[in-house]
Structures are given as structure tokens and as C-alpha cells.
């Protein structure tokens, strides 16, 4: 079992009275991440490629972050690319992939996704006169895999899908999506932003071609990470300036990297690994996420069983097939009213569509102001679950 209080003690922000249930929009950070970022700035870092110590320190930070990213997702160092955020990285890949698309081609998108994995591809497809097909969302806010498979045909060049809904917490069987795409030779791009804080990411098991996540969702700084198959990162056209590297993941990283944030990224991965035991960082991460899943399952079960009758969860009604991110609809109250009332009690939540425009529209909530999202993480406690249930009951 996770020693929650010991872990919480590592987070300066958690020493206050506010209850942080806004993790799906961004997490707080442990002291080691703060120290890594400030340490990188304090010890003086220069741009890479210089024949002096401060430049070598920067290069060390880059290489350490690539190793950490590879351990986090189960890839290799040469497959890890960093950028300002997941959206920017997805736009870069969409632009590169669409260079080879022609009129009559087709892309298949999940109707469950955050808009960063929707509009990026729509814009690229429209520029090439490529057909865009959306998979349906079921009433329980899960992806209709049968419908998605029916859309994939010989004209399909790409399937873009989320691994876990940032709005509803519902998980997607990415392996089934990949299997269907492979039958026609299509590539698969996976948004794992909301999966990464809750489940171990395993790109060899998933079998996809690209995967993105954001470290500010798993206790790190605001930084995006892309994993891509090495041959694709090498062969695809990277839109870069002429002096930028011609080979390796750095050819995708425009401008000077944020060395201090890369140091913070590594520290965030090390924090997660510290929760588990093993002979190396990857094995410690595997053990850590097993414990994280167990604790978060307990929190989720407690929340679901204690909800007042007027508060309905939109999404899976048990912890099977989901993470503890819940969007709720409170009868008689608009989502902003619910979030505001919780905020007055010191409980941080969000109201709206959470950039999950497509699923909110398909399920009929976008025109109603969206839903109220309550998200639990492994550093949340059963007392915090009870606090939000008490507040909802009072509403």
C-alpha cells in the first residue's frame, strides 16, 4: 500500500488547507522537482555544444531527460522528443505526416479526445483535402470500438486516439485500435496525457507509432514529450531551421530547449519511480504504478459509492475500465455553480468542457455549460474524498 502521508509531505503545496481535486488540469509538484529546476538555474547552464562546463551540464540535462522519458514509456532514448507542450508536438507531427497525404486519403479520429488530438489533425487533413471520419462515443462516455473499426479501410493513413479520456476518465483499448490500423497499414497516434499519471505507459505493448504526454500532469513542469518510432522520427520531414541537427530527436525540437524544465522532468519521473521497488528505474515505475492503481481504485470506489442521488457520474459507473477522474452532472445546478460552491469550501475542481469539445458535444453537455470534473490522484486521501462528498451532499 502507498504511504500517502509520506508522499504528501514531499509536496509543499499540499501542506495547505486546499483540497486539490483539479489534477486532470495539472498537478502540484514535489520538492525534488522544485529543487531540480532551481538547481539547474543556480548552477549556471549554457546552450549545448560549447566546449565549457556549463554547456556540458546542459547536455547532461538533455540526455538525462531522454533516458527518463524512455523509462517512463518503455522506449529508447533516441525516440524521445521534448517540446513546450503536447499540442505543439502534435501539430509538428501532423504537419510532417500530412506532407505525404493526398486527396482521397482518410484519417480516423476518436470522438472521445481532447481537442489537441482533434483539431491538429483536422487542420492538416483539410489542407490536403483528406477525408475525416469520427468514431462514435457511447452514452457511458466510452469509445465505440466497433464503430471505429468499421471506419478503418484501405484509404486510412492515420488513426488518432486517446488512451484515457481527460473528461470522463474512461480508458480505451489502444491495442485493439492498433490491430485494426495495422491491417490496412495505417499509423496510430496516441494521446496518453491523461493516462500517464494513473497507469504505466508501455509503448511496445501498445504497438502504436507515436505517443504524447505532458509532465505537468504527472507532478512535473509544463513540458510536452513525444515518443515516436526511431525510423519515423528519422524519415519524416521535420520543420526546422537549417543549423538544427539533421539526425536524432533534436531535429524535432525547435529553438533552444528549456534545460531547467528538462531537469524538472527527470525529477518528476524519479519521484514516480521512488514509489516502487526494483533493480532499475523502469522496474520501479512498473511497481509504482501497480501501487498507484490500487490506491486510486480505493479512492474511486469510495467516491462512487458515496455520491448523493442528485449527482450523476457521466461515464463508467464502476472503477473497471476507468481512472478516478469523474465528470458529474448535478440535477438542478449548472456546472459552474457546482465548481464555485466547491471552491468556496476550499475544494479545487473545474467546470466546462475541459477542451474535450467533441465528446461533450456528442453527449449533449457542451450547450449546457459542460460538467463538473473531480479528479483524484495517488496523493489524495480518503478524507478528501469524504470532504467532496459532504460538500456535494450539502448542495
Phi-psi region of 104 (alpha: psi -120 to 50; beta: other; left: phi over 0): left
Inter-axis angle of helices 259-274 and 31-42, to 10 degrees? 150
Average pLDDT across the chain, whole number: 97
Q: Please answer whether residues 166 and 350 qualify as being in contact, where contact means their C-beta atoms are separated by less than 8 angstroms.
A: no
CATH (one of 3.40.630.30, 3.40.50.10860, 3.40.640.10, 3.60.20.10) for 36-272: 3.40.640.10
Secondary structure (3-state) at 51: coil
Residue 163 dihedral angles phi and psi, to the nearest 5° = -90, -20
The confidence score (pLDDT) of residue 124 equals 97
Output the pTM of the full model: 0.97
The span from the CA of 139 to the CA of 137, in Å, is: 7
Q: What's the pLDDT tens digit per position in 237-260?
A: 999 999 888 989 999 999 999 999
pLDDT beyond 90 at 93: yes
The span from the CA of 92 to the CA of 165, in Å, is: 22
* Percent of the chain predicted with pLDDT > 90: 96
Residue 79 dihedral angles phi and psi, to the nearest 5° = -105, 10
The span from the CA of 95 to the CA of 92, in Å, is: 5
List the domain boundaries for the chain: 4-29+290-394, 36-272
The span from the CA of 144 to the CA of 180, in Å, is: 13
CATH number of 4-29+290-394: 3.90.1150.10
pLDDT, average across residues 353-373: 95
Q: Please answer whether residues 14 and 366 qualify as being in contact, where contact means their C-beta atoms are separated by less than 8 angstroms.
A: no
The span from the CA of 186 to the CA of 151, in Å, is: 12
The span from the CA of 324 to the CA of 307, in Å, is: 14
The confidence score (pLDDT) of residue 47 equals 93
What number of H helices and E strands is found in the chain?
Answer: 14, 13
For the beta sheet containing 371-375, the strands, ordered from the edge strand earlier in sequence to the opposite edge, are 311-314, 325-330, 371-375, 350-352
The confidence score (pLDDT) of residue 282 equals 98
Q: What's the pLDDT tens digit per position in 260-304?
A: 999 999 999 999 999 999 999 999 999 999 999 999 999 999 999
Rg (CA), the chain: 21
* Percent of the chain predicted with pLDDT > 70: 100
> At which residue does the C-alpha cell 496525457 appear?
193
**CA nearest neighbour of 314 among 374, 358, 357:** 374
pLDDT beyond 90 at 44: no
The confidence score (pLDDT) of residue 365 equals 95
pLDDT beyond 90 at 155: yes
Q: What's the pLDDT tens digit per position in 8-31?
A: 999 999 999 999 999 999 999 999
The confidence score (pLDDT) of residue 1 equals 81
Distances (CA, A) of 385 to 16, 143, 212, 302: 17, 27, 30, 7
Q: What's the pLDDT tens digit per position in 161-181?
A: 999 999 999 999 999 999 999
The span from the CA of 217 to the CA of 198, in Å, is: 10
CB neighbours of 9 closer than 8 A, spacing ≥ 6?
Answer: none
Amino acid at each position: 500500500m502507498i504511504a500517502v502521508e509520506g508522499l504528501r509531505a514531499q509536496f509543499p503545496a499540499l501542506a495547505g488547507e486546499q483540497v486539490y481535486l483539479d489534477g486532470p488540469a495539472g498537478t502540484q509538484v514535489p520538492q525534488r522537482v522544485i529543487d531540480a529546476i532551481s538547481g539547474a538555474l543556480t548552477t549556471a547552464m549554457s546552450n549545448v555544444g560549447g566546449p565549457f562546463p556549463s554547456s556540458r551540464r546542459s547536455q547532461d540535462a538533455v540526455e538525462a531527460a531522454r533516458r527518463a522519458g524512455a523509462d517512463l514509456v518503455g522506449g529508447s532514448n533516441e525516440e524521445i522528443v521534448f517540446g513546450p507542450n503536447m499540442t505543439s508536438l502534435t501539430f509538428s507531427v501532423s504537419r510532417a505526416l500530412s506532407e505525404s497525404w493526398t486527396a482521397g486519403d482518410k484519417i480516423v479520429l476518436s470522438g472521445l479526445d481532447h481537442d489537441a488530438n482533434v483539431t491538429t489533425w483536422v487542420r492538416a487533413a483539410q489542407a490536403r483535402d483528406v477525408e475525416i471520419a469520427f468514431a462514435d462515443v457511447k452514452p457511458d462516455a466510452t469509445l465505440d470500438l466497433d464503430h471505429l473499426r468499421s471506419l478503418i479501410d484501405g484509404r486510412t493513413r492515420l488513426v488518432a486516439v486517446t488512451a484515457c479520456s481527460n473528461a470522463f476518465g474512461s480508458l480505451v483499448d489502444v491495442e485493439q485500435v492498433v490491430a485494426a490500423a495495422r491491417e490496412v497499414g495505417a499509423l496510430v497516434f496516441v494521446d496518453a496525457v491523461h493516462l500517464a499519471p494513473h497507469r504505466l505507459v508501455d509503448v511496445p505493448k501498445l504497438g502504436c507509432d507515436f505517443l504524447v504526454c505532458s509532465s505537468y500532469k504527472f507532478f512535473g513542469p509544463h513540458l510536452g514529450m513525444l515518443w515516436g518510432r526511431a525510423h519515423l522520427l528519422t524519415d519524416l520531414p521535420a520543420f526546422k531551421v537549417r543549423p538544427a541537427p539533421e539526425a536524432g530527436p533534436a531535429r524535432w525540437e525547435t529553438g533552444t530547449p528549456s534545460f531547467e524544465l528538462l531537469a524538472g522532468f527527470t525529477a518528476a519521473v524519479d519521484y514516480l519511480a521512488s514509489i516502487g521497488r526494483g533493480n532499475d528505474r523502469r522496474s520501479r515505475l512498473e511497481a509504482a504504478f501497480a501501487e498507484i492503481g490500487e490506491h486510486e481504485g480505493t479512492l474511486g470506489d469510495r467516491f462512487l459509492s458515496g455520491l448523493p442521488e442528485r449527482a450523476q457520474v457521466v461515464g463508467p459507473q464502476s472503477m473497471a475500465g476507468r481512472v478516478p477522474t469523474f465528470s458529474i452532472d448535478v440535477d438542478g445546478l449548472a456546472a459552474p455553480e457546482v465548481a464555485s460552491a466547491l471552491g468556496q469550501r476550499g475544494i479545487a475542481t473545474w467546470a466546462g468542457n475541459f477542451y474535450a469539445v467533441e465528446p461533450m458535444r456528442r453527449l449533449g453537455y457542451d450547450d449546457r455549460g459542460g460538467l463538473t470534473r473531480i479528479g483524484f490522484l495517488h496523493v489524495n486521501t480518503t478524507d478528501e474524498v469524504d470532504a467532496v462528498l459532504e460538500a456535494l451532499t450539502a448542495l
